[in-house]
Amino acid sequence: MSKRPVSLKTLAQALNVSISTVSRALRNHPDIGPELTQRVQQLAQELRYSPNPLAMGLLKNATRIIGVIVPALVTHFFASIISGIESVAIEHGYYIVIRCSYESFEKEQECLANLLQLRVEGIIMCLSQETKTYAHFDALLAAGTPLVFFDRVCRSTEVPTVVVDNQAAACRITRHFVAQGRRRIAHIAGPPALNISQERVAGYREGLAAEGLAFDAQLLVPSDLSAESATAATQQLLALPQPPDAIFGVNDTTAFAAMKEIKRQGLRIPADVALVGFTDEYHATVVEPMLTSVMHPTFEMGRTAALLFLEQAQGQVPPRQMVLATQLVVRESSGQKS
Amino acid sequence: MSKRPVSLKTLAQALNVSISTVSRALRNHPDIGPELTQRVQQLAQELRYSPNPLAMGLLKNATRIIGVIVPALVTHFFASIISGIESVAIEHGYYIVIRCSYESFEKEQECLANLLQLRVEGIIMCLSQETKTYAHFDALLAAGTPLVFFDRVCRSTEVPTVVVDNQAAACRITRHFVAQGRRRIAHIAGPPALNISQERVAGYREGLAAEGLAFDAQLLVPSDLSAESATAATQQLLALPQPPDAIFGVNDTTAFAAMKEIKRQGLRIPADVALVGFTDEYHATVVEPMLTSVMHPTFEMGRTAALLFLEQAQGQVPPRQMVLATQLVVRESSGQKS
DNA sequence: AAGCTTTGCGCAAAGCTTTGCGGAGAAAAA
DNA sequence: TTTTTCTCCGCAAAGCTTTGCGCAAAGCTT
Tens digits of residue pLDDT in B57-95: 999 999 999 999 999 999 999 999 999 999 999 999 999
The confidence band for B282, taking pLDDT boundaries of 50, 70 and 90, is confident
User: pLDDT tens digit string along A306-335?
Assistant: 999 999 998 878 999 999 999 999 999 999
Q: A8-51 — its CATH code?
A: 1.10.260
Q: Do the domains at B8-51 and B59-163+298-324 have one common CATH topology?
A: no
pLDDT at B184 over 90: yes
What per-residue confidence (pLDDT) applies to A157? 81
Cα separation, B153 vs A195, whole angstroms: 44
CB contact under 8 A, A121 and B2: yes
Q: A58 in contact with B at a CB cutoff of 8 Å?
A: yes
The reply to whether CATH 3.30.1540.20 applies to domain B59-163+298-324 is no
B5: closest chain A residue by CA: A143
pLDDT at A149 over 90: yes
What per-residue confidence (pLDDT) applies to B166? 97
pLDDT at B10 over 90: yes
Nearest to B233 by CA among B214, B253, B215: B253
Cα separation, B277 vs B294, whole angstroms: 6
User: pLDDT tens digit string along B248-274?
Assistant: 999 999 999 999 999 999 999 999 999
CB B128, CB B112: distance < 8 Å:
no
Nucleotides, chain D, CB distance < 7 Å? 7-22
Q: B58 in contact with A at a CB cutoff of 8 Å?
A: yes
User: What are the residue ranges spanned by the domains of chain A?
Assistant: 8-51, 63-163+298-323, 166-297+328-334
CB contact under 8 A, B54 and A119: yes
Q: Compute chain B's Rg from CA coordinates.
A: 26
Residue A299, SS3?
helix
CA-to-CA separations, A113 to A71, A104, A261, B49, in angstroms, rounded: 16, 14, 41, 12
What per-residue confidence (pLDDT) applies to B2? 61
The runs of H, that is alpha helices, within chain B are 8-15, 19-26, 34-46, 53-60, 76-91, 105-117, 138-143, 166-179, 195-210, 227-238, 252-264, 298-314
Cα separation, A239 vs A191, whole angstroms: 22
pLDDT at B159 over 80: yes
User: pLDDT tens digit string along B228-254?
Assistant: 999 999 999 999 999 999 999 999 999
The confidence band for A3, taking pLDDT boundaries of 50, 70 and 90, is confident
Cβ atoms within 10 A of the Cβ of A214, count?
6
What per-residue confidence (pLDDT) applies to A142? 86
The confidence band for A63, taking pLDDT boundaries of 50, 70 and 90, is very high
CA-to-CA separations, B20 to B4, B6, B43, B51, B61, in angstroms, rounded: 20, 15, 16, 13, 20
User: pLDDT tens digit string along A104-148?
Assistant: 999 999 999 999 999 999 999 999 999 999 999 998 888 889 999
CB A200, CB A250: distance < 8 Å:
yes
pLDDT at A221 over 90: yes
DSSP state for residue B265 in the 8-state scheme: T
Q: What is the DSSP string of A142-200?
A: HHT--EEEESS---TTTS-EEEE-HHHHHHHHHHHHHHTT--SEEEEE--TTSHHHHHH
The runs of H, that is alpha helices, within chain A are 8-15, 19-26, 34-46, 53-60, 76-91, 105-117, 138-143, 166-179, 195-210, 227-238, 252-264, 298-314
Cα separation, B326 vs B173, whole angstroms: 11
CB contact under 8 A, B2 and A287: no
Task: Residue B109: list chain A partners with CB under 8 A.
Answer: none
Cα separation, A250 vs A70, whole angstroms: 18
Cβ atoms within 10 A of the Cβ of A10, count?
17
Cα separation, B43 vs B194, whole angstroms: 56
Arithmetic mean of pLDDT over chain B: 95
Half-sphere exposure of A290 (CA within 13 A, CB side): 15
Nearest to A320 by CA among A130, A156, A150, A101: A156
What per-residue confidence (pLDDT) applies to A229? 97
Residue B6, SS3?
coil
Query: What number is the average pLDDT over the span A185-195?
Result: 97
Task: Residue A75: list chain B partners with CB under 8 A.
Answer: 79
For chain B, how far is it from start to end, CA to CA, in angstroms? 69
CB contact under 8 A, A74 and B57: no
Cα separation, A135 vs B278, whole angstroms: 45
- Which residues lie across from B197 on neighbouring strands? none
Cα separation, A49 vs B113, whole angstroms: 12
Cα separation, B46 vs A78, whole angstroms: 36
The confidence band for B4, taking pLDDT boundaries of 50, 70 and 90, is confident
Nearest to A322 by CA among A124, A77, A102: A124
The reply to whether CATH 3.40.50.2300 applies to domain A63-163+298-323 is yes
Query: What number is the average pLDDT over the span A8-22?
Result: 93
Could you name the CATH architecture of A166-297+328-334? 3-Layer(aba) Sandwich (3.40)
Cβ atoms within 10 A of the Cβ of B60, count?
10
Distance from CA of B216 to the nearest CA of A (A): 29
Arithmetic mean of pLDDT over chain A: 95
Cα separation, B37 vs A223, whole angstroms: 51
- Helices B53-60 and A53-60, packing angle to 10 deg: 140
> Which 3-22 residues of chain B touch chain A by CB within 8 A?
3-5
Span of A12-16, B3-7, B286-290 with lowest mean pLDDT: B3-7
Q: B267 in contact with A at a CB cutoff of 8 Å?
A: no
Cα separation, A204 vs A177, whole angstroms: 11
What per-residue confidence (pLDDT) applies to B239? 97
Query: What number is the average pLDDT over the span B127-131?
Result: 95
What per-residue confidence (pLDDT) applies to B293? 98
Residue A252, SS3?
helix
What per-residue confidence (pLDDT) applies to B329? 97
Measure CB to CB from residue A97 to each of B95, B119, B288 and give the nearest one. Answer: B95
CB contact under 8 A, A74 and B80: yes
What per-residue confidence (pLDDT) applies to B315? 81
Q: Give the strand pairing for B292-295 and B327-329.
A: antiparallel
